[in-house]
Structure 1
């Protein structure tokens, strides 16, 4: 801990918090103009990129240059891809039903209520989860085998997330697939390759940070991301929305809920997938 530049790190926190606030302020302005607060989903990934970029600049001359470069590049690639994908998917659309339901009982101003219910909580989560990247930027130890393992896991997660999103987009392009269940490609091995990919990406970033003390202390940051994806806002809400689709019950019975795994053979005798 003696080698970790504690004072420099603490001095950077107001600036990274300001980066989060800046991203949220711009997003809120766009949301009000478009009358749909689901644009927050588009800003989610780029928000982490902004934090990583500020940390990278402020950690110059203190943290290990190899780790700093690795963290800013991997966070940037993940966040910009995610923001671009969600932005393209949501172009020209209306308010997401999830946000519509969340804000439907707004007491008074819908926009003010959205600030409290959407932007503030997501800003806090964004800052907390990104701590693993922020601490890693200031860590002074050289890259080791744990960081290499983190890069491998990041690559696995990025591939799952990118390919899974692409396969789902191609599936939705065919009108004949409307209301049905995707059960091929990566979706054959996990019902949520995109959420699993996100979880693997952030676990990988944590391992890169944890390779040098005190990065291991940020374990709650990726844990929060994984918990949200697998147990709170990601997987559960998606499966609730899809539960009434024909064949979804059989798909759940045959396909892993999160960690990729070969499909089980359901009672009907046919292998499943999503």
Structure 2
């Protein structure tokens, strides 16, 4: 296997993710459902992990641990999203339909560039992976073990939150209601919280490598996106449109983000 320098790994990852997202955009154009971008945004991280596995100079044990974490998390989330989206593949999710309506006649062109920006975000967020990929130290260290432990907690928490929400929605008696069971009783977005915590775990993992402190960029970006841009604002806006009274009441009794900081 040919070992690549850091910029080669990043460039190959960017080209690959951009090609994938271009193909996904063509599919979304055909079926008129931009929601499929979420599936492949998640799947692109295992693709980057595979590139690191094949071409990074890091020691074998380090690559096994890091790439396993990234692949398992990306495949779990992507598959969870695929199961949800494929149930109504030819009916676009309301938040994307709302964006499409706002963009009007230029929606498809803007969607293409939106998909490409998602590919670029994959590579930008993968900074911790690239940092670790350059570490040729023969032994794993305390930061890497701590990061792996935090990763396990975060992935388990997100999977539990996703399962609880799926079970709630599956019950026909809950139609028009807001999920307030399990972790959702304490936070309006426990899935987003644990997603962010997972990126914190990658940052902790990267601290065991030279220049690992630069990996703080990833959880910082994720926190900003989730709380200010595409995560919580878009989700809550849609909930207020679809079930205004129930969701307003829910907002008054729950924390917006951290599960154990319940209001009231």
Same fold, TM-score > 0.5, yes or no: yes
Please tell me the root mean square deviation across aligned C-alpha atoms, in Å. Answer: 2.0
Match of 1:189 among 186, 209, 215: 186
Q: 2: distance between equivalents of 1:68 and 1:230? A: 31
Equivalent position SS for 2:109 = helix
1:115 match: 112
Equivalent in 70, 79, 85 of residue 74 of structure 2: 79
d(CA) in 1 for partners of 2:244 and 2:156?
A: 27
Aligned to 2:44: 47
One of 117, 121, 131 as aligned partner of 1:135:
131
Q: How far 1:196 moved relative to its partner?
A: 0.8
Gaps of 5+ in 1: 1-5, 266-274
TM superposition score normalised by structure 2: 0.89
Partner residue in 2 for 1:69: 64
**Aligned-pair CA distance for 1:230:** 2.4
From 137, 145, 151, give the equivalent of 1:148.
145
When normalised by structure 1's length, the TM-score is 0.86
Distance 1:47 1:114 in 2: 18
Structure 2: segments with no counterpart, 5+ residues: none
Report which stretch shifted further, 216-225 or 92-101: 92-101
Alignment check: 8 A CA contact 1:196 1:259 kept: yes
**When you count helix as a share of all residues, which structure comes out higher?**
2
Task: Provide Cα deviations, 1:144-196, integer angstroms capped at 9, x if missing partner.
Answer: 22222211221121111111111111101112111111112111222111101
Partner deviation per Cα, 1:95-142 (whole Å, 9 max, x = no partner): 1222222222546564323112x2122122111001211221222233
Distance 1:105 1:187 in 2: 30
Give 1:246 deviation, angstroms. 3.4
Asked if the contact 1:181/1:245 (under 8 Å) is kept, the reply is no
Partner of 2:200: 203
Whole-angstrom distance in 2 between the partners of 1:149 and 1:132: 15
